[in-house]
Amino acid sequence: MNQAAHTDEKWWGWGDPGKKDNLSRHPEFIKYLSEQIDFTGKVTLPPPDVASIKIPESRLTKKDIASLLSIVSDEKVHTSDRSRIINTYGKSYRDLLRIRKKNFDTVPDAVVFPDSEDIVQKILTWAVENNIAIVPRGGGTSVVGGVETMCGDKNRAVIVLNLRFLNKILHINTTSLVADVEAGIYGPDLEDALGRKGLTLGHFPESFEYSTLGGWIAARSAGQQSTLYGKIEEMVESLRVVTPGGIIQTINVPASADGPELKRMLIGSEGIYGIITRVRIKVKPIPEEKYYTAYLVPSFEEGTEICRRIIQSGMKPAAIRLSDEDETEFAFSLLITKMPSVKNMVLKTGRRWLERKGYLPGKRAFLLLGFEGTKTDVAHERKKLRSFVSKYKVLHLGKSAGNRWYKQRFANPYRRDALLDHGIMVDTLETATEWDSIKPLYDAVIKSITRAYDDLGIKGIAMGHLSHMYSTGSSLYFILLASPHPDKELEEWQIIKRAASMAIVEYGGVISHHHGVGLDHKQWLEPTIGSESIQLLRALKFQIDPENILNPEKLLP
């Protein structure tokens, strides 16, 4: 079997191994960390060397392998330790921590790289016949344990179905503005192909550069411009899903009244109902213009009210994001770089000016607004925005602040790797709720996390922002930074995560707005959607996959 490396991604962290976030470039950020948490600057948890990791023997028998190789050629079946290791986890804090701790108790017994739907179907049949679990994997960027290799039964083998070679663009229809695409395609490859025809999908989650179309759909992802373009579920015209019992192809129409919308049961099914192999996506012309700008508002609470009114007035930003006061300071601390520069000087002068205007630390919240579309539509929206903000106490920071955000929009995961080196706990979690529940939910989650830090006797920060807004409510996103006790990171994370999740559920939030359920949220699904709904999801699971070979232990509690 071909054991060659099939990827040059940073398997133990995020993205391009050539890119590194150098914390020491940001003296104010270092200062901020030193004040807020126990940051010493020492590297305490370096990335591991793959050769030093011990993993269990493969549970696949010679017979299993032989029958597998009768349906898929050997270069598509990887059984090397390296392949098994790098396909074990996703990109959650819990995952990255276990990688650095070399904790690889459950790993896939093989990794298979199908490059056609036909092979996917044959592998599913083989898996049912041989009682082998299958974990589908796109970019492997789940932050909720969605791609971790669980078997559903200790004595059972599990293989990862890595779909990155199921990545062909099959057809782009410029009349109906749809494209037929294989689901394993990565974000940049998809946008490149569409871009050559002047088109875009308009879906840019933070993971964009390293996640796949199928992954977005399986987890019900939201792009940073979802306020204009919608969540991924609204971008799917139809899809094909391979199940143990056959292929489900939903109908290729823009809308219908053909009974319950089964398409929506496959979207968000996180691999438990089948493998998404092919998607007809809705595409649109590349926007003629993108205009990103930013404001400061006096508080997160006032900003929330401004955001609600912007959205409910019918304004159509592509992106709208409001940081709380703490996230605003966090972001400000990253602005100044170590090297003296004109930019630094301008930034420092600007900051003093803000402070003279009363926008002091703790009394300012950063509001980002981005508009995309035709020149005439963007101009119209800008005009509406100007007229709107004239009625509120806000301070226009201008285009350069907006563009800075836009340029940095995929960079956060690199920073996380740098923080992890120093043993810092870095996690994000998110929910959505209606406008009148935003404040109580936000307060409850921040309080709950802070109390958990106190109970654990650790220093930590909890901050958040609104993004992905709707007429009836918004997504709420939280970022945690803390200094866990060495060797207690996992259990302390568990306690903090539990505290946050309980507050979300208690205050009527949904357990996820765009990360998904996976392993980390499944215990919260029943309190969120109710036991009757769980029973229905189970009934479908049993109908589709009675042997429970598909992504076992995920999503359903």
488-517: which residues touch its own copies (CB under 8 A)?
508-517
Contact between 360 and its own copies per CB under 8 A: no
Member of 29, 330, 435, 478 binding its own copies (CB under 8 A):
435
End-to-end CA gap in the chain? 37
Q: How far is the CB of 43 from its own copies (least distance, A)?
A: 34
Part of the chain binding its own copies (CB under 8 A), chosen from 105-113, 230-238, 398-406, 487-495: 230-238
Does 233 engage in binding with its own copies (CB under 8 A)? yes
Cβ atoms 48, 420 nearer than 8 A: no
What residues numbered 401-420 form the site for its own copies, per CB under 8 A? none
Q: Does 245 bind its own copies (CB under 8 A)?
A: yes
- Binding range to its own copies, per CB under 8 A, among 107-115, 183-191, 396-404, 435-443: 435-443
Question: Where in 84-143 is the site for its own copies (CB under 8 A)?
Answer: none
Q: Which of residues 449-468 bind its own copies (CB under 8 A)?
A: 468
Query: If we measure between CA atoms, which residue out of 346, 494, 500, 495 comes closest to residue 430?
Result: 500
Q: Are 233 and 264 in contact (CB under 8 A)?
A: yes
496, amino acid identity: I
Among residues 137, 159, 273, the alpha carbon closest in space to that of 214 is found at 137
523 near its own copies, rule: CB under 8 A = no
CB of 291 to its own copies, least distance (A): 15
Q: Quick one: which segment of 229-237, 327-335, 411-419, 485-493 binds its own copies (CB under 8 A)?
A: 229-237
Of 308, 294, 245, 300, nearest to 273 (Cα)? 245
Considering only the stretches 82-90, 163-171, 484-492, 522-530, report the one whose residues sit in contact with its own copies under the rule CB under 8 A.
522-530
d(CA 517, CA 523): 9
Q: Which residues pair with 200 in a beta bridge?
A: 284
Q: Which of 24, 34, 376, 523 binds its own copies (CB under 8 A)?
A: 376
Name the phi and psi angles at 495, rounded to 5: -65, -40
Q: 10 Å Cβ neighbour count for 229?
A: 23
What φ, ψ does residue 291 adopt, rounded to 5°? -125, 115
Residues 6+ away with beta carbon under 8 Å from 531: none
51 or 253: CB nearest its own copies: 253
Question: Please, what is the minimum distance in Å from the beta carbon of residue 350 to its own copies?
Answer: 33
From 261, 443, 454, 491, residue interacting with its own copies (rule: CB under 8 A): 261
Contact between 432 and its own copies by CB under 8 A: the answer reads yes
Q: How far is the CB of 513 from its own copies (least distance, A)?
A: 6
Determine which residue in the list 111, 544, 549, 550 makes contact with its own copies, applying CB under 8 A: 544
- The β-bridge relationship of strands 319-323 and 460-469 is antiparallel
CB of 514 to its own copies, least distance (A): 5
Look at the alpha carbons of 37, 43, 45, 50 in this order and tell me if their dihedral is positive or negative: positive
Span near its own copies by CB under 8 A; candidates 36-44, 135-143, 202-210, 265-273:
265-273
Adjacent-strand bridge partners of 63? none
> What are the beta bridge partners of residue 173?
178
Binding status of residue 171 toward its own copies by CB under 8 A = no
Which residues in 283-342 contact its own copies (CB under 8 A)? 284-285, 308, 312-314
The residue with tokens 């232990």 is 553
